[in-house]
Amino acid sequence: MISALFAILVFPGILFVSAFSLAAEFADRKIHARLQNRVGPPWFQPLADFIKLLGKAELIPTNARPLIFSITPVFALASAITAYLYVPLWTKDALFSFNGDVIVVLYLLTIPTMAFFIGGWYSTSLYAKIGSVRLMTQLFAYEVPLFIGILSGALLADTWSLYGIALFYHNNPMFRFFNIIGFAVSLIALMGKLEKVPFDIPEAETEIVAGVCTEYSGKFLALFRLALDVEMVVGASLLAAVYLPSGMSLGPIAGFAVYIVEIFFIVALISLLRTVFARLRIDQMVSFCWKYMAPLGIAQLLINLIVKAVLIK
C-alpha cells in the first residue's frame, strides 16, 4: 500500500512527472531559442514561471461560471498525469497495465483538450470562445491521424496493451522500420494536440490574445500550463513506448537513462519542426490533416496489415 502510494504521488507519479515536464519545457524553449540564434531561458525558468503564477491572484470574469472556470484546469492536469501511469517507461510494465490500456491512454489524452475548450467557453470572453472553437476544430482534424498512427503499431504487435506493444518491438526491432510513417504522423498529430507551431492556432497571440487562456490567471493558468507540459511528456512517452522501446532489458538505471534520452529526442524534434514552420490558418490545418496525414495513417495501417499477413504467422 505504501509503495503504491509512493509510486503514484512521488516516483514515477505526480512529483516526478511534474518536475520532468518542467525540464522538458525548458529543453523545448532552449532548443527553439538556439535554433533561432537566441540565448534562451535559464534552466530554472519554467519552475520560476510556475511559482510566480501560483503567487498571483486568480481573477474570475463576472459572467463566467465560477465552478466550471475553476475546476477545468484541475481536470486537465489530473487526466494528463493519470495517462502517464499507464505508459511503460524504462521497464517492461507500466505502473498500471492491462490489455486495452492503449485505448485508455488515448482517451485520457483527449480530456485536457476538452477541459481547455470548456474552460475557455465558460469564461465568456470573446477571444476565449474563438480559441475554444478553433481548439475543437483542430481536435477533429489531428485526433484521427493520431489514433490511426498509434493503433496501427498495436495492430502489427497484435495486442492492445502498451506493455505488449513495447515488448513486441523490443524483441523484434526489425519491425520498427515498417512504422516510420506512423511515427511521423503521430509526431505531427502530437504537435497539434500540444498546440505547437504551426498548429498554435487556438492561442494565436497576434490574433486572439491567448485564446482559451485569455481570462485565466494565477494558479489556474499555472495548472493549465503544467497540464500542457505533462501532456508533452506523456505524448513523447507514448511515442517512445510504441516506436522506440530500447531500454527495457538494460536494467533500471541504464533503462531510465535511455528513456530520458528518447523523450528529449522527441522534444527536440518538436522544437525543430516548430522552428522551421510558420503558423497555419485553421482551414489549412484541417485540410492538411485530412488530405495528407489521415491518408498516410491509413497507408501505415495497410502496410502493417500486409506485413502481419506475410511475415508474422
Q: Is the pTM of this model over 0.85?
A: yes
268: exposed, middle or buried (Cβ count in 10 Å: 0-12, 13-18, 19+): middle
CB 76 within 8 Å of CB 111: yes
pLDDT for 111 equals 92
Angle between helices 180-193 and 252-276 (to 10 degrees): 70
Nearest one of 210, 50, 212 to 115, comparing CA atoms: 212
Helix (H), strand (E), coil (C) string for the chain: CHHHHHHHHCCCCHHHHHHHHHHHHHHHHHHHHHHCCCCCCCCCHHHHHHHHHHCCCCCCCCCCCHHHHHHHHHHHHHHHHHHHCCCCCCCCCCCCCCCCHHHHHHHHCCHHHHHHHHHHHCCCCHHHHHHHHHHHHHHHHHHHHHHHHHHHHHHHHCCCCHHHHHHHHHHCHHHHHHHHHHHHHHHHHHHHHCCCCCCCHHHCHHHHCCHHHCCCCHHHHHHHHHHHHHHHHHHHHHHHHHHCCCCCCCCHHHHHHHHHHHHHHHHHHHHHHHHHCCCCCHHHHHHHHHHHHHHHHHHHHHHHHHHHHHHCC
Angle between helices 218-243 and 180-193 (to 10 degrees): 180
- pLDDT per residue rounded down to tens, the chain (313 residues): 667 777 778 877 789 999 999 999 999 999 999 999 999 899 999 999 999 998 888 888 888 888 888 899 999 999 999 999 998 877 766 777 888 889 999 999 999 999 999 988 888 888 888 888 889 999 989 999 999 999 998 988 888 988 888 888 888 888 888 899 999 999 999 999 998 888 888 887 777 777 788 888 889 999 999 999 999 999 999 999 889 877 666 777 888 888 899 999 999 999 999 998 888 888 888 999 999 999 999 999 999 989 888 877 6
Q: CA-CA distances (angstroms) from residue 245 to 9, 59, 223, 250?
A: 25, 44, 30, 11
pLDDT for 69 equals 86
